[in-house]
Amino acid sequence: CASQLCEPAYSQRAASLRRQSALTARFFPMSSDCLDDYHAAPPSPLLALVGMPHLHGALQAAAAAAEPKPRVLSFASDGAYVEAQPVPSGEAANLVLKPGWLHKHTHCIAGAAALIASWDDSTSATGVAAQIGAIRNASGRSRLLLVLVQASGEASPAPPSEERIAALRRACDLEPRSLLVVSADGPPPSLDAASLARGVKVLLEAAAAYYRDEARRARPPKATAPQLAARHHTKRAVFAELSHEPVLAQRHWQLAAEQLRELARLAAGSGAEADVASSVPLHEVKRVAELAVRRICAHGMTAPQGAAAASRHAEVFDVFRRHVRLFQPLAQQPPPVDARGAAAAGHVHSGWMGKQHRWFAKLLEESDAPAVAAAAAGGGSAAEGSAHFAEPGFYYQAAASCALQRRRFAEVLSGLDAAAAGAAAAEAAPSYGAVAAVLGVPAEVNAELDTRAVIELLTRAYERFKRARAPRMIYFLAAQMA
């Protein structure tokens, strides 16, 4: 967006998460179609403030203290707001989620927009209505709020008459609760705490109503294609999170994951089944499946303490194990390619599989370790239930194994004849580079960088198992690093 993004709490949290590991920024770059930014901070409704920018800072501070904490876009005028609106994208039937859709609804299209305008005897209702109309035409179905700021520094400020307010509301086609009149001390004008809290509350309620309306508009597809069903449930889940309905969001994430598993199963099949899934790129299935599984796991790990928490934690481990086991053999999609293409696909796939283990390890580190360990010991089947599944070091070691496999693919790619490599890379690099960017993994073929990633991940696993006093794993990891 061309706007100034005013979101201190969100930005600080996102920056903190990005600074957790230099390895993440160095080895896992993101493209515009990568969905990793959605996990940088809890999903938040998006608000827009238009006009009188000197008041936005106070409103922004009041919004940061609200629950849920929204993100706030700041625009000096309605013209700036109109220019910042995204261009509608076309339909993409062979994709689960259209490019840029998630970014559009979390960073560009506000659930509720407030036009802040000064109010006195000379205020023109026609001019205010024109500004509201411009914002309405640009934002489509976003909820609108008109905040009239009346200066209170005069000797005897006259309150606005009911007739003028009613005429202005009719001219702007607004509901009664969508028009607020507040007093500001000045100069410069400043709003009191009550007015700030009132404005933020109305904006949040309007945004929640917008996201619920958008969820209802996302009707189930008439076709039976799994990618369309997965798209429907993904949209419903995102809108439920933005409207602060975690239970509903979890249900739709689970339904989306089921459809994505079916797509992956079809892609791994042969004959007619493979033909059905061939129109959907395998990396697209991976991209959205990672989003769904990460959200399911994040919701499960935030369960309250008690028997329900143990059950949900056990479900998290089961969901993640099913996820990695399903996609582990799916490095590329039929038909088969040449040796270089197979190595390039394995290089990207190994990086993506390592990425899955890394984010799950970080999720466990941020969770309540005793409760999670108890759930891991009691969850799943009798053969699989074990407390070591709750140890983040277990997943760091698995990520290191994926990085080691990635290094082997890099050595294969680097060991080809220079002339043949140049000719083949010219054809294969653009496609696999784009796939890597969408999946949030590096496309660069560099065995040295992969070796550094192996050592760093093994070191993290070593530190975790040393803290857990597991001597056999400590010796095993030390041998691997050597």
- Report the pLDDT averaged over residues 38-43: 83
Give per-residue pLDDT as tens, 172-211. 988 888 888 887 776 666 788 888 888 899 999 999 999 9
- The per-residue pLDDT of the chain, averaged, comes to 80
- Residue entry with tokens 């983040």: 392
Give yes or no for residue 55 having a pLDDT over 60: yes
Give yes or no for residue 365 having a pLDDT over 80: yes
In this prediction, residue 287 has a pLDDT band, given cuts at 50, 70 and 90, of very high
- pLDDT at residue 384, as a whole number: 44
Give the span between the Cα atoms of 347 and 345, in whole angstroms. Answer: 5
- Report the pLDDT averaged over residues 476-481: 90
| More confident of the two residues 424 and 53 | 53
Give per-residue pLDDT as tens, 208-224. 999 999 999 988 887 77
| More confident of the two residues 363 and 309 | 363
- Report the pLDDT averaged over residues 255-278: 75
